[in-house]
Amino acid sequence: MLNADAMKEWGSMVEASIKKAGGKYVVRGTNITALEGTPPKQLIITRWDSMDALKAWYDGPYKDMRPMRDKAHKSVRAYAVEGVPN
């Protein structure tokens, strides 16, 4: 993390944006236990109704938030993965 204040502001904006777009947090935290390999300092996993819904949010409302994210974090890794059917 580069800037704690920017991180707090960005986090609030992103959380509201995800909820508004229909996404839900599944995992969000920093207390990560490594079983193998080096863990990230923070991990966030969200769930979406579809990959299209995620992409619409990521390329839409979230796009304008990315510059603020870049001021708050040194590096970011983001991935999208299709889930297992219920």
Kindly report, residue by residue over 45-76, the tens digit of the pLDDT.
999 999 999 999 999 999 988 888 887 777 78
7 pLDDT more than 90: no
> For residues 41 and 27, which has the higher predicted lDDT (pLDDT)?
27
The predicted structure's pLDDT at residue 1 = 52
Q: In the chain, where are the structural domains located?
A: 4-32+40-72
The predicted structure's pLDDT at residue 8 = 79
pLDDT (mean) for 10-19:
89
- The 3-state DSSP composition of the chain as helix, strand, coil percent (nearest 5) reads 45, 15, 45
The predicted structure's pLDDT at residue 4 = 74
As given in the structure block, the two tokens for residue 56 are 């619409």
- Select the CATH number that applies to the domain covering 4-32+40-72 from these four: 3.40.50.620, 3.40.50.170, 2.60.40.420, 3.30.70.100: 3.30.70.100
83 pLDDT more than 90: no
